[in-house]
Amino acid sequence: MELFSLKVFLTVATEKNFSRAAEKLLRTQPAVSLSIQRLEGEIGEKLIERSGKEIMLTDAGRIVLEYARRFENLSRDLDNALAEMRDNSAGRLVIGANESTTLYLIQPIVRYREMYPKVKVQVRRSLSSKVPSQLIDGDLELGVISFEPGDERLISQVIYTDHLAFVVSPEHRLAGRAEVSINELGAETFIAHNVLSPYREVVIRAFQEARVPLRMDVEMPTVETIRNLVQRNEGVAFLPKMCVAQEIEQGRLCEVKVPELVVERKIHLVYPARRKLSHAAQAFLGVVAGGRND
């Protein structure tokens, strides 16, 4: 079985389209189709079913896809190992993080790039809940999440301590207040993040315990959209301080303390416990340790 055939199959399965896969592989569509047919012939199983423009994997296709991904990870590890053999500062570093935790990587990556300019750094946007399994499967080398993974197969270290900030527009009635009781927030319209997280649950529980209604009338998929709506005085929000620090400093948002909701947000750098890290990843750990924020 040729490794290139597995790469073609992986690309088709990922793109879910023969034309897009052909473009990505710099091959013609007939060549891609022929490669899939040869692979099916070698395996003796149908891997892909076509339904109009859509493609679906068969049971055999899903099994082959899992192993094709493993081959791709091994190929990447080989490329890294050879690059590091030639030049200890070269290679590639793949880090997984979600939208908000990516912000905590900006300063470490700037320092890292100054020290190791030949290393290619790729930050993949991932759901925090998926990062631990992606690390274990070898899809990521390092991950940044806002919770303790609680898995003995992973090592976790706190690299930044943040907090949830209650923010309002400068035009909001609470903008001039230093603090506000949770009991005064029952009539407010909250712009909520619709991605489930432990911190969302902490806020909901605090309002329930205080017997104060929590009106999450608007839910948005990104921190940026929440921030923009709050700036327009369309509602209020609890957001990680790191995500709104610049807006608060520039006067575009105001932070008001809520004594009943003092929530620390610890940012964890996570990596596999039983798999040797590349030199590039080990160097990144050193850079983070040298500039850790408590």
Q: Which residues contact 139 (CB under 8 A, 6 or more apart)?
A: 69, 73, 94, 96
Alpha-carbon distance of 128 to 125, in angstroms, equals: 9
Any idea what DSSP says for residue 187? T
Shared domain check, 285 and 142: yes
Of 53 and 201, the one with more pLDDT = 201
Residues 184 and 229 in one domain: yes
Considering the chain, what is the average pLDDT of its residues? 88
Cα–Cα distance for residue pair 156/143, rounded to 1 Å: 9
pLDDT in tens, 127-147: 888 999 999 988 899 999 988
Whole domain around residue 247: which residue ranges? 161-265
Q: Are 110 and 63 in the same domain?
A: no
Q: Which residue in 34, 76, 44 sits closest to 22, CA to CA?
A: 34
CA dihedral for 31, 37, 43, 48, sign (positive or negative)? positive
Per-residue pLDDT, 89? 64
Identity at 264, one-letter amino acid code: E
Q: What is the DSSP string of 146-174?
A: SS----TTEEEEEEEEEEEEEEE-TTSTT
| pLDDT tens sequence across 90-113 | 678 899 998 888 888 989 999 999
Asked if 31 and 79 sit in the same domain, the reply is no
Burial (CB count <10 Å: 0-12, 13-18, 19+), residue 26: exposed
- Gap between the Cα atoms of 123 and 104, Å rounded: 12
Same-domain status, 29 and 149: no
Percent of the chain's residues with pLDDT above 90: 44
Are both 282 and 142 inside the same structural domain?
A: yes
- Cβ-proximal residues to 51 (8 Å cutoff; 6+ apart), any chain: none
Please say which residue of 71, 93, 114 terminates a domain: 71
pLDDT digits (tens, 9 = 90+) for 231-263: 999 999 999 998 999 999 999 999 999 999 999
Is the Cβ–Cβ distance between 195 and 125 less than 8 Å? no
In 3D space, the residue among 137, 93, 20, 151 whose CA is nearest the CA of residue 288 turns out to be: 93
The answer on pLDDT for 294 being more than 60 is no
Residues 105 and 10 placed together within one structural domain of the fold: no
Q: Write the pLDDT tens digit of every residue in 36-67.
A: 888 888 888 888 887 766 788 889 888 888 88
Provide the total of helices (H) and of strands (E) in the chain, helices listed first.
Answer: 10, 11
pTM value surpassing 0.95: no
Which band of pLDDT confidence, cut at 50, 70 and 90, is reported for residue 292? low
- Contact call for residues 241 and 166 (beta carbons, < 8 A): no
pLDDT number for residue 272: 93
What confidence score (pLDDT) does residue 87 get?
Answer: 66
The reply to whether 176 and 255 lie within a common domain is yes
Give yes or no for residue 88 having a pLDDT over 60.
no
Number of domains in the chain: 3
Residue 127's pLDDT is: 86
> At which residue do the structure tokens 């490669």 appear?
35
Q: Which of 30-39, 248-257, 285-294 has the highest mean pLDDT?
A: 248-257
Indicate the pairing of strand 48-51 with strand 54-57: antiparallel
The reply to whether 44 and 93 lie within a common domain is no
In this predicted structure, what is the pLDDT of residue 41?
87
Q: What is the mean pLDDT of residues 162-169?
A: 95
Whether residues 36 and 92 fall in one domain? no
**Mean pLDDT of the 178-185 span:** 96
